[in-house]
């Protein structure tokens, strides 16, 4: 009987220590793909801002992130539909000082590689020329 009581006392003691050994760690953040800086000017019409990103080199099915001068990140995800058309998914995201998403907007378009285009994503009007590698 002494062994059973001793074992029970040790188990109760160890159970009491369990909450003290647990601690909450900060969640690990997923690293983003490398970003390319892009500078731009603003448009004085309304709240919309206009950005000329120039020529953007993209790879089929691979995300490309651009860090805009305003601190916003624009992610391009291309998918070749045929030789002359590419489907682009553009995601514009801005974060606050704590790294939390403040604003998020997504637009999906069909474009022709090598031809300049203009598209509105959230409050931004983007102008760029997509170049897509078929890899």
pLDDT number for residue 13 = 66
Asked if residue 123 lies in contact with residue 47, where contact means CB atoms within 8 angstroms, the answer is yes
Tens-digit pLDDT profile for residues 43-53: 334 445 788 99
Residue 104 lies in a domain: yes
Residue 12 lies in a domain: no
User: Distance between CA atoms of 3 and 119, rounded to whole angstroms?
Assistant: 76
Residue 21 lies in a domain: no
Domain count, the chain: 1
User: Distance between CA atoms of 128 and 119, rounded to whole angstroms?
Assistant: 9
pLDDT number for residue 122 = 86
Asked if residue 49 lies in contact with residue 70, where contact means CB atoms within 8 angstroms, the answer is yes
Q: What percent of the chain has pLDDT over 90?
A: 49
pLDDT number for residue 12 = 72
- Residue 49's contacts (CB-CB under 8 Å, 6 or more residues apart) are 40, 42, 43, 70, 123, 124, 125
Residue 18 lies in a domain: no
Is residue 16 predicted with pLDDT exceeding 80? no
pLDDT number for residue 41 = 43
Boundaries of domain holding 66: 35-133
At 62, is the pLDDT very low, low, confident or very high (cuts 50, 70, 90)? very high
User: Distance between CA atoms of 71 and 112, rounded to whole angstroms?
Assistant: 28
- Taking the model in full, what pTM does it have? 0.63
Residue 9 lies in a domain: no
């Amino acid at each position: 009987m002494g062994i059973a009581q001793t074992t029970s006392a040790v188990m109760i003691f160890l159970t009491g220590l369990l909450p003290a050994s647990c601690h909450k760690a900060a969640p690990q953040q997923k690293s983003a793909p490398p970003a390319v800086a892009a500078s731009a000017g603003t448009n004085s019409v309304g709240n919309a801002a206009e950005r000329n990103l120039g020529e953007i080199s993209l790879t089929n099915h691979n995300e490309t992130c651009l860090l805009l001068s305003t601190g916003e990140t624009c992610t391009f995800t291309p998918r070749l539909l045929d030789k002359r058309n590419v489907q682009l998914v553009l995601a514009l995201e801005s974060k606050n000082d704590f790294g939390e998403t403040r604003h998020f907007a997504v637009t999906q378009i069909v474009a022709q590689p090598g031809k300049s285009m203009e598209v509105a994503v959230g409050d931004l009007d983007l102008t760029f020329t997509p170049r897509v590698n078929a890899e």
